[in-house]
């Protein structure tokens, strides 16, 4: 009998592993799937994830359990998924902050989102608006910019911190418009809202879910939508990108898995997310939380990965341009 050489043995082992992986992917899911959310239970992202998880369960015939792991600006929950086995039973539902801004604002981040995670599907964008207190004589972002330039440094914008999304967006507005808005960081959204309603700060960058009631009650006035697209529920409100191209940082949510997630599992999940997005009830319910389900972005793992890479590069360039140093 002719002895097997080392190359033949390795080739046989490799083909066997591929066959086992393919078989596993075809039989998945055989038990409940955990989706880790790096935000607190009861938060808007948590509620959105639970609505998506319910629809994934219907499509894939298995329970999807949401597990909250908040802490350290999304790092705790993300790290848990990075360390999980890539078998399709531990997934991540996370925001753009954990994927494309943390890598440039943390000096020592324990994961690389492009290397340590697998993109599955884009799910939704989180709509944010710039609002002003009623006494401010500006009905648009252009008018607010013009007003600030009459007395530079005299107007303030409430944000959630210099390295968080609204803080970075505020700095981007100053850079693009040549303004000197004073960016006031707040530890809690409620304090930011209260101070803007009472006029202690002239403006704020808030999620639609937080701002909407105040806009309806006319205690705050919306003057622009964050990002490149207008908000479906506020079609007459211009997007920042229409006025200041480049100052359009947007919050969004993606479904991710650990690096090495089998392609067949990722494809099955992406298809199920697309089916969820096509359910009219989901976009309607998401809109009440300030989210917008965008079916044109919910496609395949490959397009999700391309989107993530583009957003990662764009955020890195913007943060570098603004001179924000990682901490």
Q: How far apart are CA 75 and CA 295, in angstroms?
A: 28
Indicate whether 51 belongs to any domain: yes
Indicate whether 314 belongs to any domain: yes
Indicate whether 19 belongs to any domain: no
Q: Which domain holds residue 64?
A: 32-126+250-322
Burial of 325 (0-12, 13-18, 19+ CB in 10 A): exposed
Indicate whether 178 belongs to any domain: yes
We report the CATH number of the domain holding residue 121 as 3.40.190.150
Q: How far apart are CA 87 and CA 68, in angstroms?
A: 20
Q: At what angle do helices 165-177 and 301-322 cross, to 10 degrees?
A: 60
Pair (118, 257) in one structural domain: yes
Indicate whether 7 belongs to any domain: no
**pLDDT for the residue numbered 227:** 83
**pLDDT for the residue numbered 250:** 86
Determine how many CB atoms are found less than 10 A away from the CB of residue 174: 19
Pair (122, 254) in one structural domain: yes
Domain limit, last residue, from 225, 259, 283: 225
| 69, 99, 234 from 301: Cα distances, Å | 24, 16, 30
Pair (211, 179) in one structural domain: yes
We report the CATH number of the domain holding residue 194 as 3.40.190.10
Pair (195, 261) in one structural domain: no
Q: How far apart are CA 88 and CA 244, in angstroms?
A: 41
Domain limit, last residue, from 169, 191, 225: 225
Q: How far apart are CA 224 and CA 61, in angstroms?
A: 42
**pLDDT for the residue numbered 193:** 97
**pLDDT for the residue numbered 1:** 46
User: How many structural domains does the chain have?
Assistant: 2
Count each helix (H run) and each strand (E run) in the chain, helices first.
14, 11
Pair (52, 118) in one structural domain: yes
**pLDDT for the residue numbered 84:** 98
Pair (42, 79) in one structural domain: yes
Nearest 5°: phi and psi at 158? -80, 130
Pair (104, 175) in one structural domain: no
* Count of positions (residues) in the chain: 327
* CA-wise closest residue to 134 among 191, 188, 214: 214
* E strand segments, the chain: 33-37, 64-68, 90-95, 117-126, 128-132, 156-159, 182-185, 203-207, 221-225, 251-258, 291-293
Pair (160, 188) in one structural domain: yes
Pair (200, 170) in one structural domain: yes
Cβ neighbours for 281, distance < 8 A, ≥ 6 positions apart: none
**pLDDT for the residue numbered 249:** 83
Pair (303, 163) in one structural domain: no
Indicate whether 144 belongs to any domain: yes
Q: Which residues pair with 156 in a beta bridge?
A: 182
Pair (92, 39) in one structural domain: yes
Indicate whether 3 belongs to any domain: no
Indicate whether 236 belongs to any domain: no
Sheet holding 33-37, edge to edge: 64-68, 33-37, 90-95, 251-258, 117-126, 291-293
β-pairing verdict for 203-207 and 128-132: antiparallel
- Going from the first residue of the chain to its last (327 residues), give the mean pLDDT of each consecutive group of 10, the final group possibly shorter: 50 46 72 98 95 98 98 94 98 96 94 98 94 98 98 96 92 96 95 98 95 96 92 93 87 97 98 94 92 79 95 95 93
CB 220 within 8 Å of CB 90 = no
Domain limit, last residue, from 183, 209, 225: 225
What is this structure's pTM? 0.88
Pair (86, 117) in one structural domain: yes
| 71, 105, 315 from 320: Cα distances, Å | 25, 10, 8
Determine how many CB atoms are found less than 10 A away from the CB of residue 172: 20
């Amino acid at each position: 009998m002719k002895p097997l050489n080392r190359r033949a043995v390795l080739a046989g082992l490799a083909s066997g592993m591929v066959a086992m992986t393919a078989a596993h992917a075809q039989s998945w899911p055989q038990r409940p799937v955990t989706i880790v959310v790096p935000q607190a239970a009861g938060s808007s992202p948590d509620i959105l994830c639970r609505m998506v998880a319910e629809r994934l369960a219907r499509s894939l015939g298995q329970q999807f359990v949401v597990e909250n792991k908040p802490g350290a600006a999304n790092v705790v929950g993300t790290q848990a998924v990075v360390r999980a086995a890539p078998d399709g039973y531990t997934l991540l539902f996370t925001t753009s902050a954990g994927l494309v801004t943390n890598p440039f604002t943390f000096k020592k981040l324990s994961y690389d989102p492009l290397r340590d995670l697998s993109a599955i599907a884009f799910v939704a964008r989180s709509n944010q608006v710039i609002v002003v207190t009623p006494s401010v004589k500006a009905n648009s972002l252009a008018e607010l910019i013009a007003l600030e330039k009459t007395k530079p440094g005299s107007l303030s914008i409430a944000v959630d911190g210099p390295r968080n999304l609204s803080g970075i967006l505020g700095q981007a507005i100053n850079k693009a418009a040549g303004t000197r808005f004073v960016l006031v960081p707040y530890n809690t959204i409620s304090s930011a809202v209260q101070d803007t309603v009472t006029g202690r700060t002239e403006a704020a960058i808030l999620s639609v879910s937080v701002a909407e009631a105040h806009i309806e009650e006319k205690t705050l006035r919306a003057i622009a939508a964050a990002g490149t697209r207008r908000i479906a529920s506020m079609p007459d409100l211009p997007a920042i990108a229409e006025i200041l191209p480049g100052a359009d940082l947007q919050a969004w949510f993606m479904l991710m898995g650990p690096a090495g997630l089998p392609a067949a599992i990722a494809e099955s999940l992406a298809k199920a997310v697309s089916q969820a997005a096509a359910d009219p009830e989901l976009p309607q319910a998401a809109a009440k939380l300030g989210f917008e389900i965008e079916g044109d972005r919910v496609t395949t793992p490959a397009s999700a990965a391309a989107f993530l890479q583009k957003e990662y590069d764009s955020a890195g360039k913007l943060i570098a341009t603004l001179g924000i140093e990682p901490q």
